[in-house]
Structure 1
Amino acid sequence: MTIPITMAFQPIVDLAQGTIFAHEALVRGTEGQSAQWVLDQVNDDNRYSFDQTCRVKAIEMAAALGMKEKLSVNFLPNAVYQPATCIRTTLETARRTGFPISQIMFEATEAERVEDVPHLRRILTEYKRQGFTTAIDDFGAGFSGLNLLAEFQPDIVKIDMQLTRGIEADRIRRAIVGGILFACREIGITVIAEGIETAEQEQTLREMGISLMQGYRYARPAFAAMADRIDHLHPQD
């Protein structure tokens, strides 16, 4: 079964520079259906083709929109068999559309249970070797946690919104995020905070040393387009 999809794009902002760092491609149905509606139709039979279709669609649309920042693409680790083979269509699409490989960031969600962690390590290692930026999404919400970083060090870790929401009034969340930040700084991993909705969240995370953020405070996902307005985006000292 072919699932009809398109993409919405949400920016990841760099508050230190007052710029857009990347745009994350978020799957949607072609009639505006939610990501969950789409994902509910994914099964073992169509998982691989769905994953490949999402990659191609995201790159094609980013190129058509004239995206100059990084394009962040989610992928399903359990849909990837041989990393070098599975990435072939991505490479071909990037060449065909003229979209630079150096602008593509692949996010593996930590919330998807990956039974074979060495397999995930092989995937991300191969993607790095090909010149892509690698990221772990939803970090802190999944099954592996810091153990995953012991196996593989991605370029970027995205801290899950369940840890960032309400962080300004929750010392436990601040302690957990502080621990993740310490580990990432020691290893040399860039950190992005997800789910930012309020000035208080932003200020707390800024004080903790995070400048890359994503959330409704800055822009909602734009259906088949890039956000034409980014709120609260200006350099901060």
Structure 2
Amino acid sequence: MDFPEEIKQQTCADCLSGVSLGFRIRMAFQPIIDWQTRNIFAYEALVRGPEGQGAGWVFEHINDTNKYYFDQTCRITAIKTAAELGCDTFLSINFLPNAVYNPQTCIKATIEAAHLYNFDLKKLIFEVTEGENIIDKAHLRNIFQSYAKFGFLTAIDDYGAGYTHISWLSELKPHVLKLDMSLIRDIDKDPLKQAQIREIKAQCDLQCTQLLAEGIETHEELSCLTAMGIRYLQGYLFAPPTLEHLTKESDIELLQAID
């Protein structure tokens, strides 16, 4: 990846300060449920603007000039905020592979932030969205392999919404594959979607990749997905993203209704 020399010479202190981005970001958190244990497995950190504006507002301000600083600031802000809120589960952070010029170098500020805010490095998950324009698949594979060596979990987000083919599963070998909500919506009424998810799940089972269904909104979708053996679940049916707040298991009515 071709990056300006000033970015490559940036220190971890620069990344930790967040000043290079040019505006403040905040984080909302949405729980990911482990249906087998009925516990919260992780929280996904979702970027918000300085006044709580949605991710769309934030990405309107991201370009090739500041995408590196944005990627670094998201990581640090997610870790710092989650640690301050007392997060003791996995924390899933979205990252931009096109903003990583070298995975070993670009992870240094993340590691330093985890140490600074006393967050367990082994509880970090790094997600790449399927919708991002991946310039170099070999580069993404190198990032995933490097992160795995560090002990981080990796995930492909929004699977089924964009460019990827099922062959990417075997090439990238993510720890988690997140099914896009377009596959989840009304799945209980759509045998073709059900067949597609069974095919994806079979591939995931072969390589020990966990399957996660996101965007669940109805009890019927939940029942259909759990009947197919989907263990990890996320969506408004459980809880919406909340700004700088961690939804607890005791706050999720659906979990409380289960004996």
Q: Does 1:149 align with 2:169?
A: yes
CA distance in 2: counterparts of 1:12 and 1:169, whole angstroms: 24
Q: In the alignment, does 2:215 pair up with 1:195?
A: yes
- How far off its partner does 1:77 sit? 1.1
String of CA shifts for 1:80-105, please: whole Å, max 9, x gaps: 11010110100000011110111111
Match of 2:126 among 87, 103, 106: 106
Highest Rg: 1 or 2?
2
Identify the residue that residue 232 of structure 1 maps to in structure 2. 254
Separation in 1 of the partners of 2:256 and 2:230? Answer: 15
Distance, in Å, in 2 between the alignment partners of 1:166 and 1:81 is 40
Q: Which residue of 2 aligns with 1:54?
A: 74
How many residue pairs end up in the alignment? 237
CA RMSD of aligned residues (A): 1.4
Distance in 2 (CA, whole Å) between partners of 1:204 and 1:193 is 11
1:30 alignment partner in structure 2: 50
SS in 1 for 2:220: helix
Aligned residue runs from structure 1 range 4-15, under 5 A: 4-15=24-35
Identify the residue that residue 154 of structure 2 maps to in structure 1.
134
Q: Post-superposition shift, 1:131? A: 1.0
Q: Identify if the C-alpha distance between structure 1 residues 235 and 107 changes in structure 2 by more than 3 Å, giving closer, same or farther.
A: farther
Structure 2: tracts of 5 or more residues without a match = 1-20
Aligned to 1:92: 112
Q: 2:196 matched to which residue of 1?
A: 176
2:85 is aligned, of 65, 87, 100, to 65
Query: What is the deviation of 1:234?
Result: 5.7
C-alpha displacement at 1:147, in angstroms?
2.4
Q: Give the partner amino acid of 1:133.
A: L
Please state whether the residue corresponding to 1:115 is helix, strand or coil: coil
Distance (whole Å) between structure 1 residues aligned to residue 38 and residue 91 of structure 2: 18
TM score, norm. by length of structure 1: 0.97
Residue type of the alignment partner of 1:158? K
Q: Runs (4+) of structure 1 moved beyond 6 Å?
A: none
Mapped partners of 2:223, 2:66: distance in 1: 43
Q: CA deviation at 1:180?
A: 0.5
**SS of 1:150 mapped into structure 2:** helix
Contact 1:16 1:235 in 2 (8 A): no
Deviations 1:25-57 (A, max 9, x none): 000012010111001111000000000000000
CA-CA distance at 1:110 after TM superposition: 1.2
Please say if residues 23 and 50 of structure 2, whose CA atoms lie closer than 8 Å, have aligned partners that are also in contact: no
Which moves more between the two structures, 107-116 or 39-48? 107-116
Any idea what the Cα deviations from partners look like across 1:86-139, whole Å, max 9, x if unmatched?
101000000111101111110011111212111000011111111111111111
What SS does structure 2 have at the residue aligned with 1:89? helix
Deviates more, 1:13-22 or 1:142-151: 142-151
- Seq. identity, %: 46
Q: Residues of 1 paired with 2:159 and 2:167: CA distance?
A: 11
**Alpha-carbon distance, 1:235 to partner:** 9.5
Indicate conservation of the 8 Å contact 1:165/1:196, yes or no.
Answer: yes
CA distance in 2, matches of 1:118, 1:149: 13
**SS where residue 232 of structure 1 aligns?**
helix
